[in-house]
């Protein structure tokens, strides 16, 4: 079967009722309050299964990373190559368009003199001009005992401050454990951890690196990291949608 046929066999990626029906003002409030927000049923169950089924076929990917070899944890992931599978190529700019205003407002609040263009293609052109030409959407695979250490997905000078992880497997049926975890470190305070409950097809939008927090003297930056807790059984697949490309 050719790549084109395999990609065409993926059903429509968006779940019901779709991206336009998401309460985006609530998403913005959740991001401001805690650095993350859940998009429920973003991807349909059929599309989740079809995307996860791409993992064994290396024709779709530019590289494979075994986490234990680099001290990243246990488990593995693969970065997609360009051209991206059509469902991912369509979903990436749709999500960017909904998040870019938040990203620009956050940068202004943190005193970061970077403004993101309205179109994702224009932002990718900026990345590519700086030598960040390698695609960053990825599929992650975990089995029993695997986990992902706390980290940040930066990849170069140009960083979009939000990213999305979509759970392709069903907790309690396909796997146990393996919760998505965020930590937040505020100046002169102990770190705060948050576990984000997700079901198959749900997505979490979260801060890549820093986010603004309103203090008594204005906004200040807090440092964010994310990871996955230890899988207690089964197999877990996740689609990661990062909006900047890598060097």
Ordered per-residue pLDDT tens for the chain, 247 residues: 344 434 446 777 887 677 888 999 999 999 999 999 999 999 999 999 999 999 999 999 999 999 999 999 999 999 999 999 999 999 999 999 999 999 999 999 999 999 999 999 999 999 999 999 999 999 999 999 999 999 999 999 999 999 999 999 999 999 999 999 999 987 777 889 999 999 999 999 999 999 999 887 778 899 999 999 999 999 999 999 999 999 9
Query: Do 12 and 181 touch, CB atoms closer than 8 A?
Result: no
How many angstroms separate the CA atoms of 119 and 111, rounded?
22
Short-list 139, 116, 157, CA closest to 245? 157
Q: At what angle do helices 86-109 and 45-52 cross, to 10 degrees?
A: 100
Query: Do 145 and 236 touch, CB atoms closer than 8 A?
Result: no
Under DSSP, the state recorded for 231 is E
């Amino acid at each position: 079967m050719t790549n084109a046929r395999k990609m065409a066999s993926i059903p429509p990626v968006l779940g019901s009722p779709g991206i336009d029906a998401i309460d985006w003002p609530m998403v913005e409030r959740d991001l401001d309050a805690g650095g993350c927000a859940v998009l429920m049923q973003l991807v349909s169950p059929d599309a989740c299964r079809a995307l996860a089924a791409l993992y064994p076929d290396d024709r779709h990917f530019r590289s494979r990373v075994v986490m234990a070899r680099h001290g990243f944890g246990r488990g593995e992931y693969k970065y997609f190559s360009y051209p991206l599978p059509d469902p991912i190529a369509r979903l990436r700019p749709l999500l960017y368009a909904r998040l870019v205003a938040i990203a620009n407002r956050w940068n202004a609040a943190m005193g970061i003199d970077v403004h993101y263009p309205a179109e994702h293609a224009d932002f990718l052109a900026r990345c590519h001009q700086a030598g960040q030409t390698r695609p960053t959407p990825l599929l992650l695979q975990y089995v029993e005992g695997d986990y992902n250490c706390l980290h940040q997905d930066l990849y170069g000078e140009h960083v979009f401050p939000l990213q999305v992880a979509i759970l392709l497997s069903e907790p309690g049926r396909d796997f146990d454990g393996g919760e998505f975890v965020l930590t937040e470190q505020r100046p002169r305070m102990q770190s705060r951890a948050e576990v984000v409950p997700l079901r198959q097809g749900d997505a979490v939008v979260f801060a890549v690196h820093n986010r603004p927090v309103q203090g008594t003297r204005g906004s200040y930056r807090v440092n964010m990291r994310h990871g996955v807790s230890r899988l207690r059984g089964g197999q877990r697949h996740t689609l990661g949608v990062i909006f900047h490309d890598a060097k």
